[in-house]
Amino acid sequence: MIKILIPYALRAFTERNAEVEVEASTAGEAVNALANAYPALKTHLFTTDGQLRDFINLFVGGVNINSVQGLDTPVADNGELMIVPAIAGGCDSDTNLTNEEIARYSRHLLLPEIGVEGQKKLKAAKVLIVGTGGLGAPLALYLSAAGVGTIGLVDFDVVDESNLQRQIIHSTRDVGRPKTASAKDRIKGINPLVNVVTHNAMLTSQNAMELFAGYDIIADGTDNFQTRYLVNDACVFLGKLNVYGSVFQFDGQATVFGAKDGPCYRCLYPSPPPPGLVPSCAEGGVMGVLPGIIGTIQAAETIKLIVGGAKPLIGRLMLFDAWRMAFRELKLEKNPDCPVCGKNPSIHELIDYEQFCGLKKNADSKPIDAITALELKKRLDNGDKIQFIDIREPHERAIVKFPNAKIIPLGQLERRMDELDPSADAVFLCKIGQRSILGIRALQEAGYTGKLLNLQDGLNAWARDVDKSMPLY
């Protein structure tokens, strides 16, 4: 077994590994084994005819072997082979630290695990944050404060007042602005030395590969399953590390996917839950500080991956319960049958993730009729016979009540179906019109014969378009 020491300039192609062990007896066998393990590195080491490139020096026992036996040089078992790019003049001035940077990052420089070399790595690093919401906010704030040289932001949304409870990168005056613009301003306010690249667009199968290619690490701060699978697959195909975090109500998760010998997101979750089965934070809520905790853990993992030498959350899933203030760690295994990262993958390119997550309409399924808030108001003004079914839980109805609505929580709909009047149209109410779709679908499958209507965009639409005295939540 030979240990190969990888220079920083090439670690972007070895998953940030500073040392790689291979089975070999000569320098040539070792370098070839390294190139086979990391195919993206091959073109940086060898010419098209298989010769070692002129600007690559190999050292064994402190001796440059290029001018001696070259690749035929034997290397003892448990020996070391050092790759040294032949760069005249030492480190590129762009990666040196200025006096201003030394003053700004002095608390990092005092840590032997980071020091000057680690801070230079941070300065040279490029990290893409997907989503500038609850998780992306602390990620962006702490990575910029830490001195990550280039931070990319992907988001197509605008700042909403409901975001401010947890998305601390935005402020009240930013309401209505693109999140990427708001986040960039805050990042620059914290650290003007950081290069911020904004991608004010939805991440799709058409643009993900191109966007990800220019970055070293991808940090997943998304809030839906289709984008999580998209991020995962693009990272696997490009050989990028995926720093993952997720939150819901009081629970959080964090890990690192995409390492060569570690699992990917599909290894942990081979398929998504049925649409609507797991509510989003917009429907189920989230403790405001929770994404701050998980996002900061993601930031810590990102910094460790850049600097190297630490133990990242590869193959380990960290679970956090904020209500009980409890951490747990579970071991994750790489699935050899994973369709993306397994031994014989069946998925080789990005797919239609909305279809994969069941978000596209099935031609065989019965359609669900919707009614807008303004259409519903018009029908009420006309005196139409309508019954309202509020499927929300008691704690949510305490926020706002809809007059004359029958209260049947979602989980009780099927067994209480007889309480509905089939002769009157039934309009189902929830916050944003998502859970009510599940309720209508359940009644359809149970054989209910009356007319079922979903209030499009839920009670928030009623508060926005009809009764402005009602709160939006």
pLDDT of residue 270 exceeding 50: yes
Residue 452 has pLDDT above 60, yes or no: yes
User: What value, to the nearest 5°, has the Cα angle with vertex 110 and ends 108 and 116?
Assistant: 65
What tens digit of pLDDT does each residue of 190-211 get?
999 999 999 999 999 999 999 9
- Start-end ranges of CATH 3.40.50.720 in the chain? 125-356
Inter-residue contact 242 to 346 (CB < 8 Å): no
Tell me how far apart the alpha carbons of residues 129 and 143 are, in angstroms, rounded to a whole number. 10
Q: How far apart are CA 15 and CA 312, in angstroms?
A: 12
Q: Sorting pLDDT into bands at 50, 70 and 90, what band is 92?
A: very low
Least confident of 42-46, 115-119, 191-195, 301-305: 42-46
Q: Which two three-digit tokens encode residue 454?
A: 């979903």
pLDDT of residue 248 exceeding 80, the answer is yes
Mean pLDDT of 78-84: 85
pLDDT of res. 332: 92
CA–CA dist 137, 126 (Å, integer): 17
pLDDT at 366: 72
Look at residue 47 in the predicted model and tell me its pLDDT.
80
* Residue with the larger pLDDT of the pair 261 and 13: 261
Quick: pLDDT tens for 156-167: 999 999 999 999
Amino acid at 310: A
Listed in sequence order, the residues at least 6 apart from 101 whose beta carbon sits closer than 8 Å to its beta carbon are 119, 123, 147, 193
In the chain, residues under CATH classification 3.10.20.30 are: 2-85
Burial (Cβ within 10 Å: 0-12, 13-18, ≥19) of residue 47: exposed
What does the pLDDT average to over 451-473?
94
| Of 47, 39, 49, 44, nearest in space to 7 by CA | 44
User: What's the confidence (pLDDT) of residue 86?
Assistant: 44
How many C-beta neighbours within 10 Å does residue 59 have?
A: 17
d(CA 429, CA 31): 64
Q: What is the pLDDT of residue 420?
A: 95
151-172 CB burial, b ≥16 within 10 A, e <16: bbbbbeebbeeebeebbbbbee
Check residue 8 and give its pLDDT: 63
Confidence (pLDDT) at 17:
82
The radius of gyration of the chain's CA atoms, rounded to the nearest angstrom, is 27
Find the catalytic residue in 235, 264, 267, 281: 281
Residue 88 has pLDDT above 70, yes or no: no
- Architecture of the CATH domain 2-85: Roll (3.10)
pTM of the model: 0.70
**How far apart (Å, rounded) are the C-alpha atoms in residues 425 and 430?**
17
The pLDDT tens digits for 5-55 are 887 667 767 887 888 999 999 988 998 999 999 887 887 788 877 888 766
- Residue 342, pLDDT > 90, answer yes
Q: How far from chain centre, in Å, is Cα 458?
A: 28
Locate CATH 3.40.250.10 in the chain. Answer: 369-465
Mean pLDDT within 339-355: 92
Residue 267: active-site member:
no
For the domain made up of 125-356, give the CATH fold.
Rossmann fold (3.40.50)
Task: Specify the CATH number of the domain 369-465.
Answer: 3.40.250.10
Catalytic residue among 267, 338, 357, 430: 430
Asked if pLDDT for residue 85 goes beyond 70, the answer is no
* pLDDT of 364 higher than 70: no
The pLDDT of residue 91? 36
To which H or E segment does residue 371 belong? strand 369-371
Q: Which pairing describes strands 452-455 and 425-429: parallel, antiparallel, or unpaired?
A: parallel
* The two three-digit tokens of residue 178, written as one number: 């693109």
Handedness of CA 70, 71, 75, 80 (dihedral sign): positive
Per-residue HEC secondary structure of the chain comes to: CEEEECCHHHHCCCCCCCEEEECCCEHHHHHHHHHHHCHHHHHHHECCCCCECCCEEEEECCEEHHHCCHHHCECCCCCEEEEEECCCCCCCHHHCCCHHHHHHCHHHHCCCCCHHHHHHHHHHCEEEEECCCCCHHHHHHHHHHHCCCEEEEECCCECCHHHHHCCCCCCHHHCCCEHHHHHHHHHHHHCCCCEEEEECCCCCCCCHHHHHHCCCEEEECCCCHHHHHHHHHHHHHHCCEEEEEEEEECEEEEEEECCCCCCCHHHHCCCCCCCCCCCCHHHHCECCCHHHHHHHHHHHHHHHHHHCCCCCCECEEEEEECCCCEEEEEECCCCCCCCCCCCCCCCCCCCCHHHHCCCCCCCCCCCCEEECHHHHHHHHHCCCCEEEEECCCHHHHCCCCCCCEEECCHHHCCCCHHHCCCCCEEEEECCCCCHHHHHHHHHHHCCCCCCEEEECCHHHHHHHHCCCCCCCC
Least confident stretch, 149-158, 168-177, 274-283, 348-357: 274-283
Residue carrying the six token digits 């899933």 = 317
Please check whether residue 282 is in contact with residue 460, taking contact to mean a CB–CB distance below 8 angstroms: no
pLDDT band for 62, please (50, 70, 90 cuts): low
Average pLDDT, the chain: 90
**Among 90-99, 219-228, 331-340, 355-364, where is mean pLDDT lowest?**
90-99
Q: To which residue do tokens 């009157």 refer?
A: 424
Q: How confident is the model at residue 87 (pLDDT cuts 50, 70, 90)?
A: very low
Strands across the sheet containing 326-331: 195-199, 150-154, 126-130, 217-220, 241-248, 251-257, 316-321, 326-331
How far the first Cα of the chain sits from its last, in Å, is: 60
Q: What is the mean pLDDT of residues 53-81?
A: 81
Is 281 a residue of the active site? yes
pLDDT tops 80 at residue 446:
yes
Mean pLDDT along residues 219-223: 94
